[in-house]
Structure 1
Amino acid sequence: MRTFPILPAILLASLLPGLAAAQTGRYGSAGVPNIGPAEDALFPSFAARQDRLEEQGWLLRGQATFVLQGVTRFSSPYRAAGSLTPAAQARNTLSTDLILGRRLWHGAEVVVDASVTRGFGLSNSTGAAAFPNNEAFRLGSTDPYFFVPRAFFRQTIGLSGDTVPSDDDPLRFSEPMARERITITIGKMSVWDIFDDNRYAHDARTQFLNWALVGGGAFDYAADARGFTNGAAVEWENGHWAVRGGAFQVSRVVNGLFLDPSITRGFQLLASLERFWRLGEREGAVRLIYGASRSRQSPWSEIDPGNPGTFERNARSYRLKHNLTISADQQITEDFGVFGRLSWNDGATQNWMFTEMDRAVSFGGALTGLRWNRPNDTVGLGTNVGWISGGRQRYLEQGGIGFITGDGRLNYRPEWITELYYDARLAPGVNAALGYQLLVNPAYNADRGPVSVFSLRLRTAF
């Protein structure tokens, strides 16, 4: 993909008025909340206008993120349709979002996210289960593509008189919220908007880029091929504990763009129990997430490695898949924190929507630039090790091709990725990040790689 037509768009976006001063780490950050006085923003007059709009019940935020990734040539004695191309290559992606929200009555709002994307992931987003760019959809496009990833209604019901500041969620109004509350969300969204949050590893636009460092890699989260779904969620939280539950549509076919219309037969149910604490002034959290997916996925005994048609959709029945993630994060000092995730699925059937991984462990940390007088900069280091079930291993050894892996044969080893990035604040609302990822045994194959991936990320948000 050519890079030059994209760079002017980012430079133009960085000149737009009203870029706010804060950066958020919530999943798919579509902007930044107006934290602090308007005069601290890059364009104070527009930031003040955003504040006035919020007072009148309107939410207006947006972002643009450009990612350029390249790989050097690596060892590859053979490859197939699911392989990462061994020749040196570079690809780029661009995503833009405009968030519009309207307060309906006390605690109720409607939020719509209008998005334009373009670009491709490396090798069209195949060749590694822990793929290196979470901004790359498995449906790339040469021309700009418009869609609506989010359109939902949300009602927040306060249960306590005391309030806490609004969190850093760019999809919320920035007014204080009741400490104890119930939140009901209905519509189109990403399940990661609500589940598997993590202070240091959850947003590819501001933190780690790799899929397996944004969420639990072995948890087959409900989504279409662009990463979104329809559903409903109910949350209760009081600052110390949180319980979240949701029901969502699943893809009609494996890695499909269209969702299964038979919502009573195909669905995903999610539940999360979360505990928050403080050790002195240092915040920490742990989350236990369970998911039950029911879709037209097949057990490995019914999938013929030589017949791709048997992989796409079970022709006879729906099957249940169990998923589990434990996620934790902890501030160690004012400027340093650590995170970790363990994720698992039962491995009895193919994965359907996220990626092809059955067991995973990830961990790492993030350090802000306070010690070198760059408090808005962040350096992050994280790693993920992924394993697959015996059924998936046999399928790949016999030449089977999945929706993101498949080299035609397999010398099995766990897949291991490590990512390092430095994200620098250039101006309020304007960031640039350099990153490096090392993929060892990509797609679980010790015969290929290791692979070095270099990244440049430019982001502007208001």
Structure 2
Amino acid sequence: MLLLVGRANAQVTPPGTTPPVTPPNAAAAQEPAHQPNDTAGQPRDWSLHFQQTLIDQWHNDLSTPYAGDYSLANRESAKLSFTSTLFIGRRLWKGAAIYFNPEVAGGSGLSGARGIAGFTNGETFRIGDPSPSLYLARLYLRQVFALGTGTATDEDDLNQLAGLRPERYFAINLGKFSTADFFDQNSYSHDPRTQFLNWSLMSAGGWDYAANTRGYTVGGVLEYVTPGLALRFASTLMPTLANGPVLDFHYGTAHAETLELTKGYRLGGRQGTVRVLGFRNVAAMATYRSAIALAQATGTQPDVVAVRQSGHTKVGFGLNAEQELTQNVGLFARISYNDGKNETWAFTEIDRSASLGVVSTGARWQRPDDRLGAAVVVNGISPEHRAYLAAGGYGFIVGDGALRYGLERIGEVYYSISLPRYHAAISPDYQFVMNPAYNRDRGGPVHVVALRLHVEF
């Protein structure tokens, strides 16, 4: 079975548009970055939405001295991926709602979504099989407890019911969801359906966050939210195998904890938000050093599968910031790190990552609902991870059979053309990749061109 890795996001843009460039105000900045599509905000007991995203991607022919099983193919045809999601929400009792998201995914990523750690199509992780497949993306209960009398208005949106909510509250979320629904939000760079496509731009690359192959997990999220500050904590399940489709319900030996502090502020009269995240994962991971030692002792190729052991951990942090520069232009940046001693288990094979980007509306050229985005990201791995790949080892995303290490450097530019009449947006996208899979011997450049169609109502 082909296993593709990545993450899901709760946010998809309003019908016919991409997410607004202006960051939410100080209160809304503490919420998951829902983007309203019903300005009335009248209370409703039901919420029903749909999205479909198709992405066609192609890269230039490469000339490289060698290739491994998980290398980006030197030559291949264009690849198409698609997802369709139904978002259903129902109010239950005071402060409580249940959300249900069936999803269909199919198609493929370039080279089976392998060969680049910061892969170029953020939708391909949902594909466990190229044939279209129906599965449960989310099913979770949300209970909100007011901590004061002040209220704010929520609009009808994806996994959000229209009506009043407390300005200050404590919330409990239990069930199946994506950890990225609640953590590492960013108004400019978080949703590959409408924003940047690259994996290491949609989320913090060094955050190996818990999820199965399709990007979902089971667990709980606690939230303490005020107009200017929020604190969130999650405890969730890990997959039974690295990038595996099945979650491990032996919670005592396999689990993940995530903690994030979000703070809104104003700089020069413009809104900004900073998020500080820490995580700790526990699973039956292998250490890269153990895999190398066994290979040297037996004269074989190193293989993490042969030395996996319960109780191993991965810890790391992320720093995420966004700043409104003008009414129509915003800036974002992320830095993330994990210790890199044990194998990557859930997201992608990045141990250190830094990104910087800018997004603008098309207001200056009379296209206010269009979006133009440009960003750069640099990814790296730990010394232990480098040694493992250099000795011929494979992860689940990268592996050329050898390695002359170099930082993976990626640039991306997209332009989203809004088609409000059709509740759609078309986005041409270009990415430039140097040293794919950290290998200077296969250094590129790789030119990746994509066309994305996103429909939502």
**Fold conserved (TM > 0.5)?**
yes
Task: Name the amino acid aligned to 1:73.
Answer: D
Match of 1:441 in 2: 435
1:452 and 2:455 correspond: no
CA 1:126/1:292 → structure 2, altered by over 3 Å: closer, same or farther? same
* Mapped contact 2:286–2:309 kept (Cα < 8 A): no
Q: CA deviation at 1:75?
A: 2.4
| CA shift digits 1:362-388 (9 cap, x unpaired) | 110100001111110000001110111
Q: Superposed, which structure 2 residues align to 1:15-414 within 5 Å?
A: 20=15, 23-24=18-19, 33-36=36-39, 55-137=43-125, 139-166=127-154, 170-279=158-267, 281-304=269-292, 310-312=303-305, 314-414=307-407
Q: CA deviation at 1:283?
A: 1.4
* Mapped contact 1:336–1:368 kept (Cα < 8 A): yes
Task: Name the amino acid aligned to 1:446.
Answer: R
| CA shift digits 1:294-341 (9 cap, x unpaired) | 011111121146867942375442211111000000000000000000
Quick check: 135-144 or 263-272, which moved more?
135-144
* Cα distance in 2, alignment partners of residues 439 and 316 from structure 1: 35
CA 1:316/1:297 → structure 2, altered by over 3 Å: closer, same or farther? closer
CA 1:447/1:280 → structure 2, altered by over 3 Å: closer, same or farther? same
* Cα distance in 1, alignment partners of residues 425 and 437 from structure 2: 32
CA 1:56/1:444 → structure 2, altered by over 3 Å: closer, same or farther? closer
What is the count of residue pairs matched by the alignment? 427
CA 1:160/1:308 → structure 2, altered by over 3 Å: closer, same or farther? farther
Q: Report which structure shows greater RCO (CA 8 Å, sep ≥6).
A: 2
Task: Name the amino acid aligned to 2:431.
Answer: Q
Instruction: Say which SS state the counterpart of residue 447 (structure 1) adopts.
Output: helix
CA 1:84/1:110 → structure 2, altered by over 3 Å: closer, same or farther? same
* Cα distance in 2, alignment partners of residues 178 and 330 from structure 1: 26
| CA shift digits 1:225-258 (9 cap, x unpaired) | 1111001000111121110001010111111111
* Cα distance in 1, alignment partners of residues 436 and 126 from structure 2: 17
Structure 2 unaligned blocks of 5 or more:
1-13, 25-31
Q: CA deviation at 1:261?
A: 1.9
* Cα distance in 2, alignment partners of residues 314 and 89 from structure 1: 37
* Cα distance in 2, alignment partners of residues 169 and 248 from structure 1: 25
* Cα distance in 2, alignment partners of residues 368 and 88 from structure 1: 34
Task: Name the amino acid aligned to 1:366.
Answer: V
Task: Name the amino acid aligned to 1:189.
Answer: F
Task: Name the amino acid aligned to 1:444.
Answer: Y
* Cα distance in 2, alignment partners of residues 61 and 32 from structure 1: 13
Q: CA deviation at 1:402?
A: 1.0
Q: CA deviation at 1:68?
A: 0.5
CA 1:307/1:368 → structure 2, altered by over 3 Å: closer, same or farther? farther
CA 1:160/1:169 → structure 2, altered by over 3 Å: closer, same or farther? farther
* Mapped contact 1:30–1:61 kept (Cα < 8 A): no
* Cα distance in 1, alignment partners of residues 156 and 47 from structure 2: 14
Task: Name the amino acid aligned to 2:39.
Answer: G
CA 1:217/1:167 → structure 2, altered by over 3 Å: closer, same or farther? farther
Aligned residues: CA RMSD: 2.2
* Cα distance in 2, alignment partners of residues 322 and 260 from structure 1: 19
CA 1:195/1:416 → structure 2, altered by over 3 Å: closer, same or farther? same
| CA shift digits 1:168-204 (9 cap, x unpaired) | 8621113232111112100000000000001100000
Match of 1:16 in 2: none
* Mapped contact 1:357–1:386 kept (Cα < 8 A): yes
Match of 1:421 in 2: 414
Q: CA deviation at 1:259?
A: 1.1
Task: Name the amino acid aligned to 2:261.
Answer: L
CA 1:104/1:353 → structure 2, altered by over 3 Å: closer, same or farther? same
* Mapped contact 2:17–2:424 kept (Cα < 8 A): no
Match of 1:5 in 2: none
Q: CA deviation at 1:210?
A: 0.3
* Cα distance in 1, alignment partners of residues 426 and 209 from structure 2: 29
Quick check: 124-133 or 56-65, which moved more?
56-65
Q: Give the TM-score normalised by structure 2.
A: 0.89
Q: Give the TM-score normalised by structure 1.
A: 0.88
Match of 2:4 in 1: none
* Mapped contact 1:438–1:452 kept (Cα < 8 A): yes
Match of 1:9 in 2: none
* Cα distance in 2, alignment partners of residues 384 and 277 from structure 1: 25
Instruction: Say which SS state the counterpart of residue 413 (structure 1) adopts.
Output: coil
Match of 1:15 in 2: none
* Mapped contact 2:302–2:392 kept (Cα < 8 A): no
| CA shift digits 1:19-78 (9 cap, x unpaired) | 84664479xx999643236xxxxxxxxxxxxx8xx8551110110000000001022111
* Cα distance in 2, alignment partners of residues 261 and 347 from structure 1: 25
* Cα distance in 2, alignment partners of residues 364 and 275 from structure 1: 20
Task: Name the amino acid aligned to 1:460.
Answer: V
Task: Name the amino acid aligned to 2:364.
Answer: R
Match of 1:46 in 2: none
Task: Name the amino acid aligned to 2:455.
Answer: T
